[in-house]
Amino acid sequence: MSQRSASLLPKTFRDWFKSRGWTPRAHQLDLVAKAREGRSVLLVAPTGAGKTLAGFLPSLVELAERGRGRAGGARGLHTLYISPLKALATDIARNLERPVAEMGLPIRIETRTGDTPSHKRARQIERPPDILLTTPEQLALLLAHREAEELFKGLRRVVLDELHSLVTSKRGDLLSLGLARLLAIAPQATAVGLSATVREPDDLRRYLVPQRSPENALADLVVVQGGARPDIRMLELGEPLPLAGHTASLSMPAIYELIKGHKTTLVFVNTRLQAEYTFQELWKLNDDGLAIALHHGSLDVAQRRRVEEAMAAGKLKAVVCTATLDLGIDWGDVDLVVNVGAPKGASRIMQRIGRSNHRMDEPSQAYLVPANRFEILECRAALDAVHEAAQDTPDARIGALDVLCQHILGMACAGPFRLEELYEEVRSAAPYAELSWEDYEACVAFVATGGYALRAYERFAKIVKGKDGLWRVRDARIAQQYRLNVGTIVESSMIKVRLGKSLRSRPGTVLPRGRILGEIEEYFAETLTPGDTFLFAGEVLRFEGISEDEVVVTRAGSGTDPMIPSYEGGKFPLSTFLAARVRDILADPFEWDRLPPQMTEWLLQQRRRSIVPGPRDLLVETFPRGNRFYMTCFPFEGRLAHQTLGMLLTRRLERAKLKPLGFVANDYGIAIYASGDIAGRAARDPNFMDDLFSQDMLGDDLEDWLAESALMKRTFRQCAVIAGLIERRFPGEKKTGRQVTISTDLVYDVLRKHEPGHVLLRAARADAATGLLDVRRLGMMLERIRGRIIHKPLDRVSPLSVSVMLEIGRESVYSDNADEILAEAEAALLDEALA
């Protein structure tokens, strides 16, 4: 045992490592040393590096030493561990118990999640354990407790697990504010962040320490270099891949063979639909009766747990799963990862690959399986990125204002606060370091009275400023309201799917009597009409209707094809980084040699019939087909930005009297169809295309569209719930009828008209910039292509355009224009009458 470990670890620990046949790893000792120096630290390490033990080791050592000093008695909470997943917290607690028991350490470890019974919660505050494992939401609740200061004042360490995944969302914003409060209550505490490899570790280092002065703005950094290079390749088939589609149906036999040849395989897919499809296809091939299971976020929790347990027990041959398994729960001996469909992001694919071979010194084995020709390009780009270990994790977030509103109310529930002091504390959280006093005041005003220019609600204020200058929550009812609405995950957008029973005595009548299969997005359910069939929970289901708050379905007869092509749950847009690489490969014919021959042939065809665009160019093709005129373009900016672009382009074409009829979008491009001759107009007006794609579409056109955009209204609803404007609807809670609930769509319309600068609208806009509307990326694209639009008028569809044209009928056609939909329905009535 090295001298270093002798000086850093007590004998009990050294003996324990020895008894297990282990040597403490350098980074594990580094963390003990950092803790002794009182430094906060970010540990970046690949999976299998013993990250979790490293995170806890300093605490265990300190607690072991403290235990000897002060035997028994009431000790305070020493270490707080935060994980993004409830299941992960429970898992880690179990793993920690082992060394603690084996070393006979006097350390009490407990978890606190939504499932913890109330008597235990109360006891945890009265007599806290040494180590408490919990989630960001539970931390927010604890901090809003009147006893928070007492509970946390002796805290020594905060461990934040899977930090790379936490910081990319509003949960990360909420956690950063919680951390700021913790470190204000317990300035002696240090923070440890555990993270997978990221592009900008400094972002995470800032997140861990109070941003009060530039000198001390970064936590220390400990990096474990990734062990063996992953053995990763693209699955190549003898036959050409289709031009579009995401099902990878041709590759299923090869995937099945791979599963057969390995011990345990994780098959990752991007969407729940793909998960459903892949699972079904693999079972069609499953003559060997291999134990292949399905796991995705929409399935019922009990079913997911069963799969997870079987997996951990080594009983499964393969699991088909979505992002729900991206995070670090230990899945036992996975020796192969197969990623079906496009990787979408370099860092994401590396984290997924990391799921195989939990020993970091052995190479992980992985296959990328492209489903169509564009995905070959994307897989190629991802393979290159993996080989260079290039990362494309997103930029650090700017703290959301709706989350801040929620936090302010929580802090008022904890106790009276002074406006200036809370401001300084909030700004010590990295995402809020740049928060202006004006925005902060607007948030406080929102929490108090809604913050409207028309000061109508002063007498109903939720928090009030006393004569002593301190702000207090008005009454216990408001505090209760806060507790019920805490968190940034707006669950109410999901609706349960229940299997119904058909009544034999009354054909056509279906009773909602069967079991719950899982849940789907409410907005998807809203587009279903009775009789529609779709894939879910591994089978084809028939939509029967909505009963109370559940979707009632029956099993469709065997051999039925699902009618509703897709729902987007869990679909990631292509990362900017990979998109740029795909454009580079496309633009450089020397690169084509590295692609499968079918791909090269396809690109040569494109060059012959149209052109292959340069890396910064935007190719726009126009061509007639049937009695319609088509326009396609290829920005490669991901489906969300493309949807927004499509909406705005159709508005502009409408105004140009070119009568657009609809559009479809995928990750690579969009196709718009119109009854007006777009190419003809462009021929007469040389500036037409430049004007059509000019950046000013992000001005008035965007404004007009936002007024009615369903996506924007969904974004606003989420902000309204998080900020506490309306109460969240709980899953399973009945829709209580028209008087009690309030539609946020109506609130949105009214607020937009009367107070367009209101803090909630600003929060929703900030979300729209990066979220469902991806406006920021669209803006960057429009900037990039300025003066670089290459318009190719063709007399028929080009090879490149075929791929996006094939989405027509496969993807839903977007439109937020209610009158269009209604006119169509009215016409249907007239047709009926005339028939």
Partner 1 sequence: MTALRKIQRTTQQIGLKGQAAVLDLTGALYLPDHDVLLVADLHFEKGSSFARRGMMLPPYDTRETLAALTDAVFRFDPRTVIALGDSFHDIGGPDRLGDEERTALGGVQTGRDWIWITGNHDRVLPENIGGQVAEEMMLGSLTLRHEPMAGEQAEIAGHLHPVGKVVMRGRATRRRCFLTDGNRCVMPALGAYAGGLNACDAAFRPLFSNGFTAHLIGSERIFAIARSMLCRD
- 446 CB neighbour count, 10 Å cutoff: 25
| 492 lines the binding site for partner 1 (CB under 8 A) | no
**Of 22 and 460, which has the nearer Cβ to partner 1?**
460
Q: How far is the CB of 571 from partner 1 (least distance, A)?
A: 16
**Could you say which of 3, 118, 213, 529 contacts partner 1 (CB under 8 A)?**
529
**Of 283 and 452, which has the nearer Cβ to partner 1?**
452
**Of 438 and 832, which has the nearer Cβ to partner 1?**
832
DSSP 284-319: HH-TT---EEEE-TTB-HHHHHHHHHHHHTT--SEE
Tell me the torsion sign for CA atoms 170, 174, 180, 182: negative
**Of 625 and 754, which has the nearer Cβ to partner 1?**
754
Q: How far is the CB of 572 from partner 1 (least distance, A)?
A: 22
**Could you say which of 106, 545, 779, 793 contacts partner 1 (CB under 8 A)?**
545
Neighbouring residues of 171: CB distance < 8 A, sequence distance ≥ 6 = 84, 136, 137, 487, 488, 489
Q: How far is the CB of 818 from partner 1 (least distance, A)?
A: 4
Q: How far is CA 496 from CA 123, 305, 718, in A?
A: 34, 18, 19
**Of 231 and 439, which has the nearer Cβ to partner 1?**
439
| 527 lines the binding site for partner 1 (CB under 8 A) | yes
| 171 lines the binding site for partner 1 (CB under 8 A) | no
Distance, in Å, from the CA atom of 594 to the CA atom of 599, rounded to the nearest integer, reads 10
Distance, in Å, from the CA atom of 748 to the CA atom of 753, rounded to the nearest integer, reads 8
Q: How many CA atoms lie within 13 A of 439 on its CB side?
A: 18
State the Rg of the chain over Cα.
Answer: 28
| 751 lines the binding site for partner 1 (CB under 8 A) | yes
Distance, in Å, from the CA atom of 661 to the CA atom of 646, rounded to the nearest integer, reads 12
Burial 383-410 (b: 16+ CB within 10 A, else e): bbbbeeebbbbbebbbbbbbbbbbbbbb
Residue 510 is classified by DSSP as E
Q: What angle do CA 68, 69, 75 make, to 5 degrees?
A: 95
**Of 446 and 471, which has the nearer Cβ to partner 1?**
446
**Could you say which of 65, 188, 741, 756 contacts partner 1 (CB under 8 A)?**
741
- 494 CB neighbour count, 10 Å cutoff: 18
**Could you say which of 359, 754, 795, 810 contacts partner 1 (CB under 8 A)?**
754
| 747 lines the binding site for partner 1 (CB under 8 A) | yes
**Could you say which of 164, 348, 373, 758 contacts partner 1 (CB under 8 A)?**
758
**Of 17 and 440, which has the nearer Cβ to partner 1?**
440
- Phi/psi of residue 165, each to 5°? -85, -30
**Could you say which of 654, 708, 769, 793 contacts partner 1 (CB under 8 A)?**
708
15-54 residues near partner 1, rule: CB under 8 A = none
Distance, in Å, from the CA atom of 184 to the CA atom of 210, rounded to the nearest integer, reads 9
Distance, in Å, from the CA atom of 438 to the CA atom of 442, rounded to the nearest integer, reads 6
**Could you say which of 147, 249, 750, 756 contacts partner 1 (CB under 8 A)?**
750
Q: How far is the CB of 546 from partner 1 (least distance, A)?
A: 6
Contact window for partner 1 (CB under 8 A) among 30-38, 272-280, 448-456, 499-507: 448-456
| 7 lines the binding site for partner 1 (CB under 8 A) | no
**Could you say which of 152, 279, 423, 446 contacts partner 1 (CB under 8 A)?**
446
**Of 315 and 754, which has the nearer Cβ to partner 1?**
754
**Of 461 and 470, which has the nearer Cβ to partner 1?**
461
- Across 75-146, the runs of DSSP E, i.e. the strands, are 79-82, 109-112, 131-134
Q: How far is the CB of 363 from partner 1 (least distance, A)?
A: 45
| 493 lines the binding site for partner 1 (CB under 8 A) | no
| 832 lines the binding site for partner 1 (CB under 8 A) | yes
Q: Taking Cα atoms as reference points, which of 129, 59, 769 lies closest to residue 400?
A: 769
Both tokens assigned to 117: 């019974």
| 534 lines the binding site for partner 1 (CB under 8 A) | no
Contact window for partner 1 (CB under 8 A) among 17-25, 142-150, 240-248, 748-756: 748-756
The 455-484 site mask, x for binding partner 1 (CB under 8 A), equals -xx--x-x--------------xx--x---
Q: Are 197 and 389 in contact (CB under 8 A)?
A: yes
- Phi/psi of residue 431, each to 5°? -65, -20
Q: Taking Cα atoms as reference points, which of 826, 305, 346, 275 lies closest to residue 571?
A: 275
Tell me the torsion sign for CA atoms 208, 209, 212, 213: negative
Q: How far is CA 324 from CA 173, 234, 335, in A?
A: 21, 23, 19
Contact window for partner 1 (CB under 8 A) among 228-236, 336-344, 352-360, 752-760: 752-760
**Could you say which of 725, 773, 785, 805 contacts partner 1 (CB under 8 A)?**
725
**Of 23 and 485, which has the nearer Cβ to partner 1?**
485
Contact window for partner 1 (CB under 8 A) among 97-105, 284-292, 326-334, 442-450: 442-450
**Could you say which of 228, 291, 484, 742 contacts partner 1 (CB under 8 A)?**
742
Q: Are 310 and 337 in contact (CB under 8 A)?
A: no
**Of 292 and 640, which has the nearer Cβ to partner 1?**
640
**Could you say which of 65, 97, 420, 526 contacts partner 1 (CB under 8 A)?**
526
| 598 lines the binding site for partner 1 (CB under 8 A) | no
| 746 lines the binding site for partner 1 (CB under 8 A) | yes
**Of 32 and 773, which has the nearer Cβ to partner 1?**
773
**Could you say which of 738, 757, 787, 796 contacts partner 1 (CB under 8 A)?**
738
Q: How far is the CB of 813 from partner 1 (least distance, A)?
A: 6
Contact window for partner 1 (CB under 8 A) among 301-309, 364-372, 414-422, 522-530: 522-530
Q: How far is the CB of 761 from partner 1 (least distance, A)?
A: 10
Distance, in Å, from the CA atom of 452 to the CA atom of 445, rounded to the nearest integer, reads 8
Inter-helix orientation angle 759-770/437-449, to 10°:
120
| 94 lines the binding site for partner 1 (CB under 8 A) | no
551-570 residues near partner 1, rule: CB under 8 A = 564
Q: Are 821 and 812 in contact (CB under 8 A)?
A: no
| 509 lines the binding site for partner 1 (CB under 8 A) | no
Q: What angle do CA 572, 294, 312 make, to 5 degrees?
A: 105
Sheet with 220-223: strands ordered across: 109-112, 131-134, 79-82, 157-160, 190-195, 41-44, 220-223
The 809-828 site mask, x for binding partner 1 (CB under 8 A), equals ---xxxx-xxx-xxxxxx-x
**Could you say which of 46, 172, 178, 450 contacts partner 1 (CB under 8 A)?**
450
**Of 238 and 737, which has the nearer Cβ to partner 1?**
737
Burial 44-83 (b: 16+ CB within 10 A, else e): bbbbbbbbbbbbbbbbbbbbbebeeeeeeeebebbbbbbb
Environment class of residue 215 by beta-carbon count within 10 Å: exposed (0-12), middle (13-18) or buried (19+)?
Answer: exposed
Distance, in Å, from the CA atom of 97 to the CA atom of 110, rounded to the nearest integer, reads 10
| 212 lines the binding site for partner 1 (CB under 8 A) | no
Contact window for partner 1 (CB under 8 A) among 533-541, 597-605, 690-698, 734-742: 734-742
| 514 lines the binding site for partner 1 (CB under 8 A) | no
| 704 lines the binding site for partner 1 (CB under 8 A) | no
Task: Report the interface residues with partner 1, using CB under 8 A.
Answer: 446, 449-452, 454, 456-457, 460, 462, 477-478, 481, 526-530, 545-546, 564, 708, 725-727, 737-739, 741-743, 746-747, 749-751, 753-755, 758, 812-815, 817-819, 821-826, 828-829, 832
